[in-house]
Amino acid sequence: MEAGEQAINKRTGKKFEEGEAVTAEEMFWCASCRPCADGYPNHCEKLQEIGFSCDGAFAEYVKVDSRYIWSLEELKRVYKGDDLFLAGSVVEPTSVAYNAMIERGGGIRPGDNAVILGGGPIGLAAVAIMKKAGASNVILSEPSEPRAKLGKLMGADHIINPFKENFAERVLDITGGLGAKLYLEATGLPDKVWANIEQSIWEGKMINSTVVIVARSDKKIPVTGEVFQVRRASIVGSQGHSGHGTFPRVISSMASGMDMTPLITKKIALDEVPENIVLLRTDRTECKITCLF
Ligand SMILES: [Zn+2]
């Protein structure tokens, strides 16, 4: 990378040195609107997104404000050569899952149980984060065989196929009748999975469960207030990956054994990008497709 005169490296507090390996946040928060000023950059009112509302990173060079840049130097302990940058490319989705499970969901204590519904990149990253955080049972609910396999690779202790098995029965069976501290809605089909989540909270012994909604959906959810009252449970929404020390903590977790690179199931060249973007819309065999230069 090359750095401008004003670009400060948060790792050292000084100017970037040439050759520093870095990764970038994808959300360009403005730092001056009310949510940003209050410390909630994920909720910026003037949000720009690289690759969406401004030119993206499918280019040899991309110019990014240093406030969104995080050093990958720590990862050099575990990743060599191109692998360092492959690891860097999955810091962003992992940070979305970290923000959901830890920042918004309040995290877990070692020994707690976690249930992740949906084995897309965010759900699978949440599996690894819960394992790293010390969950005794990380349960992934995912009907697709390749995604379920990947879930195992990321550290899931148990897989539920919600099309073939009774979700709540399985969760209660695995957790000895307790249920989970954290449930992550990462399917984008909250109207379809909500009854299952409520049933396991209602029939489990766990008090203070939190359901984190991370997948985007405008579907109405049929919430039963009584379940959340009697079980002292909460529902929180989660958006984004910026702020709250999330990126550097994800990088440090990856430097100390949390390997996120299995999320990358395919590596492609720049000219293969358009066809693979189309493919990802329908084919759930691949998880993260990373473009290499
Ligand atoms: Zn803002």
Cα torsion 161, 165, 171, 175 to 10°: value is -100
**Measured between alpha carbons, how far is 205 from 203 in angstroms, rounded to an integer?**
7
The Å distance, Cα 244 to ligand 1 centre, comes to 15
Identify whether the C-beta of residue 15 lies closer than 8 Å to the C-beta of residue 7: yes
The Å distance, Cα 162 to ligand 1 centre, comes to: 39
Q: What is the DSSP letter of 65?
A: -
14 Cα: distance to centroid of ligand 1 (angstroms): 25
Quickly count: other Cβ atoms within 10 Å of residue 51's Cβ. 11
Residue 3: predicted pLDDT: 84
Q: What is the residue extent of each domain of the chain?
A: 8-94+243-262, 106-237
Per-residue pLDDT tens digits of the chain, which is 293 residues long: 778 888 999 999 999 888 899 999 999 999 999 999 999 999 999 999 998 898 888 888 889 999 999 999 999 999 999 999 999 999 999 999 999 999 999 999 999 999 999 999 999 999 999 999 999 999 999 999 999 999 999 999 999 999 999 999 999 999 999 999 999 999 999 999 999 999 999 999 999 999 999 999 999 999 999 999 999 999 999 999 999 999 999 999 999 999 999 999 999 999 999 999 888 888 878 889 998 88
What would the two tokens of residue 94 be? 């992992």
d(CA 32, CA 50): 19
Centre of ligand 1 to C-alpha 40, Å, is 8
Residue 21 amino acid letter: A
Whole-number Å distance, alpha carbon 48 to ligand 1 midpoint, is 9
Q: What is the dihedral of CA 116, 117, 119, 121, to 10 degrees?
A: -70
Q: Give the Å distance between the CA of 30 and the centre of ligand 1.
A: 4
Residue 261: both structure tokens together: 């690179």
* 8-94+243-262 carries CATH number 3.30.310.220: no
Integer Cα distance of 228 and 54 in angstroms: 41
Gap between the terminal Cα atoms of the chain: 14
Residue with tokens 């720590």: 74
Q: Single out the residue of 262, 24, 1 nearest to residue 131, CA to CA.
A: 262
The pLDDT, as a whole number, for residue 226 is 98
The CATH code of domain 106-237 reads: 3.40.50.720
Q: Alpha-carbon dihedral of residues 269, 274, 277, 278, nearest 10 degrees?
A: -140
Ligand 1: distance of its center to the CA of 43 in Å?
7
With CA atoms as reference, report the closest residue to 92 among 42, 130, 131. 42
Is residue 76 within 8 Å of 13, Cβ to Cβ? no
List the helix and strand counts (H, then E) for the chain: 10, 14
Tell me, in angstroms, the distance from the centre of ligand 1 to residue 215's CA.
22
Distance from residue 192's CA to the centre of ligand 1 (Å): 34
Residue 43: what pLDDT?
98
Token output for 175: 């957790």
